[in-house]
Amino acid sequence: MKRLAYLDALRGIAALLVVFTHSLPLMYPGHIWLFDVLFDPGKLGVLWFFMISGVVIPYSLRPGPDGARHFVVSRFMRLYPAYWLSLLAWLAMLSLTGSALPPWPQIVANLSMVQAALGFEDVIGLYWTLFIELVFYALCLLLFLSGRLYQLQVRRRCALAALAVALIMAAARAISDSKLPVALPLALSLMFSGSIWRQWLLAEHSAELASSLRRLLLGYALLLPPTLILGYSADMGTGESWGRYLFTYVLALSSFILLTQKWRLNHPLLVWLGGISYSLYLLHPSLLLLSQYLFGPGTLAALSTLILSLGAAHLCFRYLETPFIQLGQRLNQRHAKTHAARA
């Protein structure tokens, strides 16, 4: 599958936005109106991540008898080694700084990446996004096995259905005052929408595709505001604000469209950042904890977090991610050769 450099660049910017958001309290421990009330840069980055996954993941499932197996192997090798390293690094930093370690059952559950489904909290807060990624992978795999993944109508219905589920969950959350995961169906909707947007990016401008995109935009215009208002009018412990979320979602959707069609960024530095973005995303919380321990709150700790995170992410990508990605490719090629020989 041909890589799209501007998506890598966008992925790199998204990772930097998350690092910036998590480092901001070190530089400005007080309230900043722009980020408290209007705009969440970290969430913008995460929403871009979800839409990029929608553009990429469904099309990494290649037709053929071993398509599903190849997908599972490649995704496992892509996600889990760096994820396990980030978990180990976080536990090491907790021990180094004298912080309390999570209970062992929680740590063991987090090895699976599906701890939310097992009833355990994430050891690192940002792991919630990875669970959503796995849910999307599973849905794509099911659609692939059923032969419907590449049907435009099916993916459009999935996107709109997930949006409707998000509205229902938001209403239930408002009525019951329960912390229901509204972000899960919202993210799935963005991912399926991203898979449809990919076809437009690759110059498949059919009338059916244009109609699907118009329906999706109308769906977001009608359902997204009430979903965010109902779901996030009350803060349930994570700084939730429907106004800030609504502005950020609208900005994420509009900027993603512009930056993937009109203003494509492909500077080599940004493309490099995109390459190391997964490791940067995973490792920066541990290095933020270390920097804060060494330097205390302040700009020096924030700069240290950025520099250490970039360096660690580069090393992780080169010496851990890349070898395991290549191992997955070799395993798939070996299986394909063995299967062909038997045939």
- Distances from the Cα of 167 to the Cαs of 129, 160, 180, 228, 229, in angstroms? 20, 11, 11, 8, 10
Residue 218: the pLDDT is 96
Q: What is the mean pLDDT of the chain?
A: 93
pLDDT, tens digit, for every residue of 312-326?
A: 999 999 999 999 999
Residues of the chain with pLDDT under 70: 1-3, 237, 336-343
In this predicted structure, what is the pLDDT of residue 1?
Answer: 47
User: Is the pTM here over 0.75, yes or no?
Assistant: yes
C-alpha–C-alpha distance, residues 208 and 210, integer Å: 5
Q: What is the pLDDT of residues 70-80, one digit of tens each?
A: 999 999 999 99
Q: Give pLDDT, residue 342.
A: 63
User: What is the pLDDT, as a whole number, of residue 321?
Assistant: 97
